[in-house]
Amino acid sequence: MKIGYARCSSDSQEYQLQVDQLKALGCEKIFAEKVSGKSTNNRDQLQACIDYAREGDLVCCTKLDRLARNTIDALKIADALQAKGVGLHLEDLKVDVNSDVGRLVYTTIAAVAEMERKRIAERTREGREVAKAKGTHMGRPVSIDAQKVLQLKSEGLGATAIAKQLKIGRASVYRILDAN
């Protein structure tokens, strides 16, 4: 039986193209999830896919980086499947991961995918540092005017009235009042 695994990194991304490709490869059962590939932790569908696979099955994935972004995890996944007598097909590599040459190619590409993930994280960090140095606000936009909360409190309004007037939560009002 051919079993498919699809993954994208966040809720704003979509894995439907992967699912369609896996169906075209003949996958009868497909596991899909929206979660980071940084590690295999919290990847319930990946674990369910590995658990579901039986001897003689073939697990298919469209690209190695959809399966793992970490060399050690990629090797552990391949080993877990091989120990069960399950094949692993990566459409982008077009190799049998359980063969000697396939394992070499798989390991090399997994290492490259891991390096790419690290470089993306490094560039993102550098970009944040440059933006902060320029005075760019990072994170959620500031939407609560603490001075306005304090002014309304000094005018005698209660927390509920302040929250309604400013269209913010009462907890936010209390947090500002407690801090001052």
**Residues carrying an active site annotation:** 9
Alpha-carbon 123 to chain mean position:
18
Two structure tokens written together for 41: 């932790």
Residue linked to tokens 């498919």: 4
Question: Which string of DSSP letters, residue by residue, matches the chain?
Answer: -EEEEEEESSTTS--HHHHHHHHHTT-SEEEEEE--SS-STT-HHHHHHHHH--TT-EEEES-HHHH-SSHHHHHHHHHHHHHTT-EEEETTT-SBTTSHHHHHHHHHHHHHHHHHHHHHHHHHHHHHHHHHHTT---SSPP---HHHHHHHHHTT--HHHHHHHHT--HHHHHHHHHH-
Taking the C-alpha atoms of residue 92 and residue 75, their distance in angstroms, rounded to an integer, is 17
